[in-house]
A and B are shown apart, each in its own frame.
Chain A
Amino acid sequence: MRWVRALRRVFAEALEGVEIAVENLVTARLRSALTVLGIVIGVMTVIAIVAIIQGLNASFQAQIANLGAHTLYVSKWAWFTQGREQWWELRNRKELGRKELEAVEREATLATAVAPMGMTQSDLTRGDLEAPNVQVIGTNAQYLATGAGTVAVGRFLAETDVDLTRSTAVLGADVADRLFPGFDPPQMLGRKVAVNGKAFEVVGVLERRGQLLGQNMDSNVVVPYTAFQRDFGGRRSLSIAVSTTPENLSALEDQLVEILRRVRRVPPEKKDDFSLNRQEQFLRTYEQLTGSLFEVAIAVGLITLLVGGIGIMNIMLVSVTERIREIGVRRALGARRSTILLQFLVESSIVAAVGGALGTALGLGLAQLIALVSPLAAAVSASAVVLGIGFSAAVGLVFGIWPAWRAARLDPVEALRHE
């Protein structure tokens, strides 16, 4: 019974604090508004930046998933190199060729698709029309299954195209637009285009894919790798895209390492002379980038909150001074020191939390606005909202301690006598 009463008392006192806080907020609107402004700006900044970073992450993740998240790219080159020395090391590696491709096709039992990728830049022409600097990709029929897009019109490369070294081509959407202006896509099929001066027959057009990290994904043409090697040189390095199911990804990695080391006769004591690249690496690099941006944003937000907190402390000190007599009355009527402390802490937390809520709302609005007028995306996460409000309340609490302690420490006799 005793503790029920004590609990009820604390609850009633806290509720009193809330009522007082709300009342002060309402009666001193301008002052309250100015007080919480610092918190509002701080929270708004952080929330807006967080929302945009999370939005970017989400959209980037979605793009990566489209790209074949479960594909390993075996290559002479590592996508992410560190320093000049490593570059030289990679430079001196043996090229990957048909031997490796055949071994992987034969032995990588976990693979769901294996596609070679020979790549170069070349100009495509059709009569007077030209598509400059097109990415030419020499591959096989399984290329699309490694997450490389879909066919919009016509067909993709067939195995016979590869086996018979046919001069067939599947055009990227931009290339199709350039070489066949005003054509209905089906009309393009069966027509010839010149790749590096050699005639190729258009058998299909790829679906538009847009941009990834500012790179145009539609300025390309896909040809059989046999034809690619015929026209661009047989010793040109191939990459090999190997897809699998998500759960087999790391097992596939082991399998590929084993196959390639054997085929390339890498002595046991030597390092791999090839790289297994993943799209995920992009994501990781990207997250590192946004991660540091995130940290800067948080740091800026913290500094602003600190300033806001000092503002709250200042106004709470004023508020305590203004209400010295009230504190004396409350003490006379039976409020303990802790009661007064609680009252002022509740008040400063509420002031700050209201600022936090306002800042969160404004921040989310700002993020949406930015997403609307720029290519950036914005995501609203519940955790950001809770954190925004909770963190400001905590700031209010921390910066309210000193004023509240001063209030609680007042001598009731002197407080009652205060003019």
Chain B
Amino acid sequence: MSAGPLIVVERLCRFYEVGGEVVRALDGVGFAIERGEWVGIIGQSGSGKSTLMNVLGCLDTPTSGTYRLNGTDVQTLADDQRADLRNKEIGFIFQTFQLLPRATALANVMLPLVYRGVPKGERRDKAEEALAAVGLTNRMTHRPNELSGGQRQRVAIARALVGEPSMLLADEPTGNLDSATGDEIIRLFDDLHRRGHTILLVTHEPRLAARCPRAIRLIDGRVIADGRGSEIAALGGAAAVPA
């Protein structure tokens, strides 16, 4: 662990070429995130928040600019190194859960540790621990199709937590859940935040952004506001919520 912020992003750009036209998905984004922060990244679809999440998640490389994660300059890394970095530093939580359908909850949670070369016994212990932490002790041998949406998302959160990453990267984690279950998940995030986890939550919902202590709003690939979650959410909130 290095000194300084966990994440430092400077003049980050990501351009695509679609049908001969250059799309500026990220156009000079810059911010820093400290350890233990819970930051919401809010924006409408097309604002560049998904692209930002992919870059921050080391799934995508920026066209230009720098991205330093825990002291590592990600933009210079080769594919294998980025895979290792994802494994070690990032816990992904997706809107559609992205669990392996044929694997049990336990096997799903153990998967990141497989790619880290953790011995099987230890893998199992840690996975059981992570599942217990999200309240799924009695669902370990169930497959995703035997679980409710909320339970599936909690399995995914356990999977994100099991490798003790330096940040959780959640992409619309409540998007596929009813509001009661969504609230449950957000309370779980609250709890994780209190226990010191760094959380990045990407969403288009102001209501969700309002729950984050800090939020960054993106429009057209640029940061237009960065501050307290409740304020950022209120800012142009009506316009940000799609019909």
Q: Mark each residue of chain B from 1 to 15: 1 if its CB lies under 8 Å from any CB of chain A, else 0.
A: 000000000000000
Q: How far is the CA of A8 from the CA of B114 in the complex (A)?
A: 9
6 A-B Cβ contacts within 8 A? A326-B101, A329-B98, A330-B111, A332-B57, A336-B83, A413-B54
Which parts of B58-115 form the interface with A (CB within 8 Å)? 59-60, 79-80, 83-84, 86-88, 92, 94, 98-102, 111-112, 114-115
Taking CB atoms, residues of chain B closer than 8 Å to A416 are 59, 94, 98
Q: Is B117 an interface residue (CB 8 A)?
A: yes
Closest 7 CB pairs of A and B: A334-B87, A9-B117, A334-B115, A8-B117, A336-B83, A5-B117, A333-B112
Q: Mark each residue of chain B from 40 to 67: 1 if its CB lies under 8 Å from any CB of chain A, else 0.
A: 0000000000000010010110000000
Q: Which secondary structure dominates where chain A touches chain B?
A: helix
Chain A interface size band reads 20 to 34
Taking CB atoms, residues of chain B closer than 8 Å to A413 are 54, 59-60
Taking CB atoms, residues of chain B closer than 8 Å to A334 are 83-84, 86-88, 112, 115-116, 163
Taking CB atoms, residues of chain B closer than 8 Å to A362 are none
The smallest beta-carbon distance between B84 and chain A, in angstroms, is: 7
The smallest beta-carbon distance between A341 and chain B, in angstroms, is: 12
Taking CB atoms, residues of chain A closer than 8 Å to B207 are none
- Choose one: B80, B114, B163; the contact of A337 (CB below 8 Å): B80
Q: Is B20 an interface residue (CB 8 A)?
A: no
- A412 with B59: in contact, given A333-B87, A333-B159, A336-B80 (CB under 8 Å)? yes
Q: Mark each residue of chain A from 1 to 15: 1 if its CB lies under 8 Å from any CB of chain B, else 0.
A: 000011111001100
Q: Is B187 an interface residue (CB 8 A)?
A: no
Q: In this complex, what residue of A is CB-closest to B83?
A: A336
Taking CB atoms, residues of chain B closer than 8 Å to A337 are 79-80, 83
Taking CB atoms, residues of chain A closer than 8 Å to B242 are none
Taking CB atoms, residues of chain B closer than 8 Å to A333 are 86-87, 92, 111-112, 115, 159
Q: How far is the CA of A413 from the CA of B98 in the complex (A)?
A: 13
Q: In this complex, what residue of B is CB-closest to A16?
A: B114
Taking CB atoms, residues of chain B closer than 8 Å to A331 are 59, 83, 86
Taking CB atoms, residues of chain B closer than 8 Å to A329 are 98-100
The smallest beta-carbon distance between B146 and chain A, in angstroms, is: 15
Taking CB atoms, residues of chain B closer than 8 Å to A325 are 98
Q: Is B119 an interface residue (CB 8 A)?
A: yes
Taking CB atoms, residues of chain A closer than 8 Å to B88 are 334
- A6 with B87: in contact, given A333-B112, A333-B159 (CB under 8 Å)? no
Taking CB atoms, residues of chain A closer than 8 Å to B111 are 330, 333
Q: Is B120 an interface residue (CB 8 A)?
A: yes
Q: In this complex, what residue of B is CB-closest to A338?
A: B80
Which parts of B215-229 form the interface with A (CB within 8 Å)? none
Q: Is A335 an interface residue (CB 8 A)?
A: yes
- A339 with B115: in contact, given A333-B92, A334-B84, A334-B88 (CB under 8 Å)? yes
Beyond A331-B59, A333-B159, A335-B83, 4 extra complex contacts between A and B, CB < 8 Å = A8-B117, A330-B111, A334-B84, A338-B80
- Choose one: B101, B102, B115; the contact of A13 (CB below 8 Å): B115
The smallest beta-carbon distance between B178 and chain A, in angstroms, is: 22
- A13 with B59: in contact, given A332-B92, A334-B88, A337-B80 (CB under 8 Å)? no
Q: Mark each residue of chain A from 302 to 332: 1 if its CB lies under 8 Å from any CB of chain B, else 0.
A: 0000000000000000000000011011111
Q: In this complex, what residue of B is CB-closest to A27?
A: B102
Q: In this complex, what residue of B is CB-closest to A325?
A: B98
- Choose one: A23, A330, A338, A339; the contact of B102 (CB below 8 Å): A23
Q: Mark each residue of chain A from 79 to 115: 1 if its CB lies under 8 Å from any CB of chain B, else 0.
A: 0000000000000000000000000000000000000
Q: How far is the CA of A248 from the CA of B174 in the complex (A)?
A: 91
Taking CB atoms, residues of chain B closer than 8 Å to A5 are 117
- Among B94, B111, B112, B114, chain A packs the most CB atoms within 10 A around the CB of B114
Taking CB atoms, residues of chain B closer than 8 Å to A328 are 98
Q: How far is the CA of A333 from the CA of B118 in the complex (A)?
A: 14
Q: How far is the CA of A331 from the CA of B163 in the complex (A)?
A: 15
Which parts of B154-174 form the interface with A (CB within 8 Å)? 159, 163
Q: Do the beta carbons of B59 and A332 come within 8 Å of each other? A: yes
- Among A325, A332, A333, A335, chain B packs the most CB atoms within 10 A around the CB of A333
- A332 with B86: in contact, given A9-B116, A27-B102, A416-B94 (CB under 8 Å)? yes
Taking CB atoms, residues of chain B closer than 8 Å to A13 are 114-115
Q: Do the beta carbons of B79 and A336 come within 8 Å of each other? A: yes
Q: How far is the CA of A14 from the CA of B54 in the complex (A)?
A: 28
The smallest beta-carbon distance between A260 and chain B, in angstroms, is: 77
Q: Do the beta carbons of A9 and B115 come within 8 Å of each other? A: yes
Taking CB atoms, residues of chain A closer than 8 Å to B116 are 9, 334
